[in-house]
Amino acid sequence: MALIRRVLLPVLAGALLLGACGTGSGSGAGGSGGSGGSGDPTPAADVTGAWGDTADPEAPSLDFSPDGRVSGTDGCNRLMGHWSISGNRVTLRDMATTLMACPPGMDTWLAAGAAADVDGGTLRIYDQSGIEIGVLER
């Protein structure tokens, strides 16, 4: 229990401080889209709202706010950070996570997410290497 207090409290405090430093200047759902091959703007996909099973606290989920903030859970730890979008590619940045002692065998894959592609009602999550690590449904 003391280990959790020593690790979790500083991580949460740091995450709160980082969240307070957000300027909101990143492009959220209302930000500019990417550009197509002809130079015409490609409309950005709508990623705002909840992805995954938000009713189950042990299931991975993300919630994208229109102001460019993202929060969620990997099923054990809370995740928070910022997002931007260009076309259907979502970039996750400044991500922070709590460091709870998760049950043995729990797969916390979502914490490794660095980017995602919106594919209709499916959000494909990729790690820093560009490898697909999981999928969340709308």
pLDDT by position in tens, the chain (length 138): 444 445 444 444 444 434 444 444 344 444 434 333 445 466 789 999 999 999 998 999 999 999 999 999 999 999 999 999 999 999 999 999 999 999 998 999 999 999 999 999 999 999 999 999 999 999
Q: Sign (positive/negative) of CA torsion 68, 59, 138, 112?
A: positive
Count of the separate structural domains present in the chain: 1
| CA 96 – CA 73 distance, rounded (Å) | 11
Rounded (10°) CA dihedral 16, 22, 28, 31: 180
pTM for the structure as a whole: 0.71
Whichever domain contains 63, its CATH number is 2.40.128
Amino acid identity of 109? Answer: W
CB-based contacts of 137, cutoff 8 Å, min separation 6:
51, 52, 121, 122, 123
Q: What is the pLDDT of residue 78?
A: 96
Look up the domain containing 57 and give its range.
2-21+28-137
- Burial class (CB within 10 angstroms; exposed 0-12, middle 13-18, buried 19+) of 2: exposed
